[in-house]
Amino acid sequence: MKRLLILSGKGGTGKTTVCAALIRLTQARAVADCDVDAPNLHLVTKQSAVPEFHDFIGGDKSSIDPHKCVGCGECERLCRFDAICLKNGKAVVNEYACEGCGVCEFVCPSDAVILTPDVAGTRELYLDENVFSTATLKMGRGTSGKLVADVKLAMFKAAPECELAIVDGSPGIGCPVIASFSGMDLVLVVTEPSGSGISDLQRLVKTGQIFGTKMTVCVNMWDVSPAHTEQIRQYCEEQDIPFVGKIPFDPKAVEAVNEGKTVVDIPCPAGDAIREICAAVLALLEIDN
């Protein structure tokens, strides 16, 4: 199995739009959406199977038994995250602020506090002739890198014989992106022609170099700033990173996404450019097009 990861240094570059188009062009049978903080690949890769749901346990959270609580206020006074307050003489935990450190449990004189495993999100696995793995992290929850690893592992286990697996990663360079890098054969970075786009690309390339992962780059909406596009191409040449193509600004791409389609489902310049990028990416993966 060849494993392709699609990343971007920031949000809004068109990463998922490109990813969905590549999935359609390659007919990839193993797909994962690892942008667990805001998954949206399912909007343009419709699934027919009924998913398997699995709770994701991210850590512990405090809960307080109101029948045991004596309202002494020690937990409120010592909670460094301001996650506890007294209401009507009883301590109440704000689940979004609680970090599960356990201080409240330690200092409670009436054993009213209990640390319990927190369901921080839900992982979904769709199985039919194809495999689609995704997850949604609850608002305010952490450990998204661990959930990303679970999403990838579920896909790999369910589709060990597939020729190509495509993973849509998170934007940025944070924990979920780092978790996405592991085990990938190639990372396609979708960037934009702007000063911030170049800066974010450089940060992402440095992150990939730490992992020793092979990378390649394409520019979305390149004609918005040809000068910045040329800077990106030159940077890739300096870093010995294959530059696989440029996607023009195309209003039809927005129309396609709004209709729940990929940009290669309709005739448009953006779709033609992504077809060329797809061929270049498959060549780097040594897969026959």
pTM: 0.89
| pLDDT class of 112 with cuts at 50, 70, 90 | very high
* AA letter at 145: G
Please provide the average confidence, as pLDDT, over all residues in the chain. 93
Contact 45, 63 (CB under 8 A): no
Sequence-ordered alpha helix ranges (H) in 185-225? 195-211
Q: Please give the Cα distance from 257 to 270 (Å, whole number).
A: 12
Give the distance, in angstroms, between the CA of residue 263 and the centroid of all CA atoms in the same chain: 21
Pick from 6-20, 220-234, 235-249: least confident: 6-20
Residue 163, class by beta-carbon neighbours within 10 Å (0-12 exposed, 13-18 middle, 19+ buried)?
middle
| Partners of residue 91 on adjacent β-strands | 86
Q: What is the pLDDT of residues 245-269, one digit of tens each?
A: 999 999 999 899 888 889 999 999 9
- The confidence score (pLDDT) of residue 143 equals 67
What amino acid is encoded at 39 in this protein?
P
Domains along the chain with CATH numbers? 2-28+162-284 (3.40.50.300), 57-119 (3.30.70.20)
**Secondary structure letter of residue 108 according to DSSP:** -
pLDDT of 289 over the 80 cut: no
Amino acid letter, residue 114: I
Give per-residue pLDDT as tens, 159-180. Answer: 888 899 999 999 888 888 999 9
Mean pLDDT of 29-55: 90
Contact 56, 122 (CB under 8 A): yes
pLDDT in tens, 79-93: 999 999 999 999 999
| Closest-CA residue to 215 (of 57, 4, 25) | 4
- Number of Cβ within 10 Å of residue 186's Cβ equals 19
State pLDDT tens for residues 133-163.
999 998 878 768 889 999 999 999 998 888 9
d(CA 111, CA 184): 48
